[in-house]
Each structure stands twice: as C-alpha cells, then as structure tokens.
Amino acid sequence: MTPSAPPTRPGNRPAPADGGSPVRPPGRTPTTGPAEGASPFDRAVALFLSRTRHTRSGSAHTERAYRTDLRHFAAFLAERGHAERHPPETDAPEDAPLPFDAVTRRDAEVYLAGLAAEHAARTVRRRVSCVRSFYRFLRGLELVAHNPFDALDLPDVDRKSETHKVLSDDELARAARLLAADVAAADRRLATSEPGPDRARAFAALFTATRRRVAFTLMAFAGLRRAEVVGLTREAIVERPDGFALAFRGKGGKVRAVPLVGFAYRPMFDWLAVRRRVPTTAPTVLVTLNGRPVAPKQLKRDCRALGLRVEARHPLTPHVLRRTFATRALQASGDIRSVQVLLGHSSIATTEVYTHVDLDGLRTLVEATALPDADPAP
C-alpha cells in the first residue's frame, strides 16, 4: 500500500483544534444532573448513576444500561399508580405514578411477572438486578425503608446456551480473505484514480475497507470487546520488531496486554498508514472519514454485513468474533489460564463458559490418549 497526498473530499473538514466543539472521549456521552423541577424518582436515579459513574468498575456502557433499565422501571411505576392506590381523600391525580419509596414486595413480584411474560430470562435478570441495586443504594441513603426486590426468585439463565455460536475455521478464513480482497481492490482503484472527486471516492473506499479489516482483526484475532475496539487509543499501540503490542485498560479498569503479530500485524499497519491521512484530533485508533470516533453500532452493522457475505451459520456479531477467538485460543494452547488473561476475564469460570469445544475435538483428544498396541475392547 503506497499512500499518496491526502485527497480533497466535500464535507471532509478537519476536526477543530481549538475554538470549536471538542471531540468527546470514546464511549462516553455527556451526563448532567436532574433537570430543575425533576421528580423525586428522577433525582434518586441521578444520584445512583453518579455513584456508578465514579466507582472503579463504572463505565459509560454500564451507565447507559442502568439508565435504560430504570426508565423501564419508571414506566412500570407510572402504570402501577392507578387511582385505587390513592385513598379517596387524597389530592393525588388519578394518573400519578406509584412513589418509588412506596413499592412493596407485591409490586416487585408484579414487575417481575410482567418482565418474564415479555422478555428472555437474561433480560429479566438484568433489569431486576439493576432495580435491586438501585434500592440497595437508596437504603444506604435512608431514602427507602426496605428493598422490595431482595430475595426475589429470578429465572435461571443457561450461560452456555450460545457458546456454540462461533465461526468455523472455514468461515473465519473466508471472512479474512474477503476483507483482504476489499482492501486490495480499493488500493488498486486509488492507484488508478484521477485527481478530484474520483480520487476522493477511491480513498473513501480504501479508508472504509482498511478500517473494517482492522476492526475484524482486533475482535477475531486479538479477542477485544467491541467497546475496547472503538475506545482503543493510539497511545495503546506499541510497535515492536515482531509486530504490535496493545496495552490498554479494558472492562473494569483492568490493564490488558495483547500482542498483534503474524496475520494480525498487517491489517493494523495498513490502517495506521491510511488513518494518518485524515486530519483528526480524536484520540481513538478507529475514526470516521470526518475524523470522529467510530460508533459501536457501526461495528455491529459491519459484522452483520460480513456474516451475510460469508454465509455464516449464525448471525455474525462482535461477540461471536470474540468468542471465536477464545475458542480457537483454547483449542490451540489448552491453557485456559492464558486465555483468561488474553480476554481480560476476572474469573476463570467466565472463560470456561465463554469458550466452546466441539465433540469432534473432544473425541480426537480421547483417541490421542489410546495406546497404539492395545487390543480393542471386546
């Protein structure tokens, strides 16, 4: 790949170095306190999210998930606050929501039953766990007298139910070849393009193809989470004689060290060469053609489109790519502790349910232990 002078492109302006809107840190959206005149429930939620934001394990993703789950709970409170809940002599309007500090164990059971009727067990557990943590926080502040969600019986979740959703070696190789071919085709198009709009379009195609390839490589051959890919900063990449090394803080603030060598080296090398040609102040490795950090949803869309091209057996997602890496790493090494370190899991139990070993692999392993001269069983 031989980069030429940066092409001009309508609408492709450098991000302002000063005097303009600053580039937001990846994955973090501006957060504010409750608006003036907010309800007691909204103020309590703001306090809870503020606590979450400043804990060691707090993250933008966790905060967004909590906010979404508590909005769902607020809708339940609004539906639950029927007129019959208010004594006739009170002045409460008929559509007033149930006060959060008046929720009883019966209300909690009704909420759980409603969730179970509409959502999968995993979603039910997540939402109830969020509201339970919310009430534990409020009890600590003495804003409620009890936690109505304590000791609720939540539905069981089979954490191993999707471990089989990994790419086969053929699917993985096919995906890698397709992405490499996209980059090669875009590079040839740029080399033969005429100056002006044609070259700008050719560069845009090369930019997109190299970015998709490196994002795929980081998830499928380095095991990074989607949030870790979009949040990876340039300072996290260390160039070494044998390739690149990534050193970054992953989920829960844990420091991760992941090598990018062999096949994984070239996609990063090509991407960095192309990225340097786009003016940007964004600290992230992955950026858009306008110099902004890439949105997590973009990686999800790219994976879905790639899965259709590959004709994968299962819908392709960033999580499937990470699980594929974990499974292949375990099969290649047999060292689950090292795989745990590569994935950044706090518990080895998480790594155990995250990986998938098929029956053919187990049969091969058992057969390998047989004595060559032993008589077959009668």
**Catalytic center residues:** 225, 251, 319, 322, 345, 354
Token pair in block for residue 57: 């394990």
Token pair in block for residue 169: 């070696």
Q: In sequence order, what DSSP letters do the residues of 264-295 get, joined into one string?
A: GHHHHHHHHHHHTTS-----BSSB-TTSPBPP
Q: Tell me how far apart the alpha carbons of residues 77 and 373 are, in angstroms, rounded to a whole number.
A: 72
Distance of CA 220 to the CA centre of its chain: 14
User: Parallel, antiparallel, or unpaired for β 255-261 and 243-249?
Assistant: antiparallel
| Of the candidates 47, 77, 200, 61, the residue with the CA atom closest to the CA atom of residue 138 | 47
Token pair in block for residue 205: 């195609």
CB contact at 8 A, 258 and 249: no
Helix (H) or strand (E) holding 248: strand 243-249
For 21, 89, 325, the CA distances from 342, given in Å and listed in that order, are: 37, 63, 10
Helix 318-333 × helix 336-343 angle, to 10°: 150
Q: Write the Ramachandran bin of 334: left for phi over 0, alpha for psi from -120 to 50, otherwise beta.
A: left
Burial class (CB in 10 A: 0-12, 13-18, 19+), 371: exposed
Q: Tell me how far apart the alpha carbons of residues 115 and 123 are, in angstroms, rounded to a whole number.
A: 8
What lies within 8 Å, CB to CB, of 107 at 6+ separation is 80, 98, 148
3-class secondary structure, 322: helix
Sheet holding 243-249, edge to edge: 237-240, 243-249, 255-261
CB contact at 8 A, 209 and 183: yes
